[in-house]
Amino acid sequence: MVLRVPQDRAGHFSTQVFEQYQRSEKALVAALAQMYVQGVSTRKVGAITEELCGHEFSASSISAITARLDAQLEEFTRRSLTEAFPYVVVDARYERVREGGVIVSQAILIALGIDWEGRRQVLAVEYANRESQSSWKELLLGLKERGLHGVLFVVSDDHPGLKAAIREVLPGAWWQRCYVHFLRNALDYLPRKADDDCLQELRWMYERRNVEEARRDLKQWLEKWGGKCIPSSARGWRRTSRRPGPSTGCPWRTTNI
């Protein structure tokens, strides 16, 4: 079919037909990529598109579309970091991925930065065979090479390799154990029926902004729950309550590693 496009002397005319369908195509491509990211197989994606728009995309076509995401992710995770991020949160999650036709569990290392205005940015998302000091050190060194600076405070779980990497790469930063992981670990040592009440009281302690109030709440918590949890866990909480910290926040949960 030949589409005759009107011409004008000033050259200001442009058809709206192509732009309209280009927007529709971009929306469809974005939907295909989103389905793939959410774990829908290429075969099922093809069946869905046939049902919705009367055209079935082949598995190879869908793979070609989603391959564009790799380049975009690479560009995003290698971008220069020009502004300061005084707060950095690092954590890992495990995802099942296909390697050589075999489904394996692989660690995804994630770094999140928070600037002085409280805005959050994903700084890095990287694959690793497992969490280790070397893998975390490589991620942190990569962030510094990209320009990460001004880090005053790092939050993570209690993974020994991660703590060692933070201590080596960011020696001047204060470290805080992630309170979400901390609460989960604490509940492992208590009877299941006590979970809700104990968890609520622990959250109250973390909401304190006065040091003496935090110490008072912790003492009361230990008196109430210390006899119900494993003795080694209770001793750990008492040691934690004596850790020195900066002048703000609760001193029993912040250390300079």
Neighbour order of strands in the sheet with 120-128 = 120-128, 102-114, 87-99, 153-156, 174-177, 254-255
Report d(CA 199, CA 186) in Å as an integer: 9
* pLDDT for position 129: 84
Residue 134 pLDDT greater than 90, yes or no: yes
Query: Which has the closest alpha carbon to 90: 39, 34, 128?
Result: 128
Query: Which has the closest alpha carbon to 110: 167, 43, 178?
Result: 178
Neighbours of 14 (CB within 10 A): 10
Tens of pLDDT, residue by residue over 45-90, are 777 777 666 666 677 777 777 777 778 888 888 899 999 999 999 9
Can you give the length of the chain in residues?
257
* pLDDT for position 28: 72
Q: Which two tokens stand for residue 206?
A: 């973390």
Q: Where in the chain is the domain with CATH 3.30.420.10?
A: 87-177
87-177 has which fold?
Answer: Nucleotidyltransferase; domain 5 (3.30.420)
Neighbours of 173 (CB within 10 A): 19
Tens of pLDDT, residue by residue over 208-253, are 778 888 888 888 877 777 666 544 455 555 544 443 333 333 333 4
* pLDDT for position 244: 35
